[in-house]
Amino acid sequence: MDSKSFYNEVLLDHNMNPMHKSSLPDATCRMDGVNPSCGDSLTLHLKIEDGIIKDGSFSGIGCAISQASADIMLELITGKSLDEAKRLSELFLKMIQGDATDDEIDELDEAGALRDISHMPARVKCAVLAWRTLNELISAQ
């Protein structure tokens, strides 16, 4: 499967069938994120216990890229420590800037499908919204 087909399949699946778009009543922290250039907005909800992300969800509105990216991110970071989630987020941003190695992109699992977003400047802010919101939330802890 070529990378464009994989990208489209991953985006479509996470946009149409998001696993993490829901409320999380027992969340221990929340952070809002907004992309004013296109109107995407989300609230990231995390349940953190002993420095581990036990569960996570998001709510909000936005384009397919921002919604799918949030869902993919939550799938990747659930069960990880805050330090590991921060490292993965920084790695994702490095990938979007075109600076990540193939091995680093492999660490991102399905998030690696968004690697070609860097060639679509108008969509970069959509793809990174949830990841930047995660960094802000972790920094506030």
What's the CATH number where 100 sits? 3.90.1010.10
- Helix axis angle for 121-139 and 82-96, nearest 10°, is 160
Query: Which single residue is written with the structure tokens 């990880």?
Result: 80
| Count of structural domains within the chain | 1
Q: What pLDDT, on a 0 to 100 scale, did the predictor assign at position 46?
A: 98
Give per-residue pLDDT as tens, 11-65.
777 777 889 999 999 999 999 999 988 889 999 999 999 999 999 999 999 988 8
Domain membership of residue 123 as a residue range = 3-139
How many of the other CB atoms lie within 10 Å of CB of 121? Answer: 8
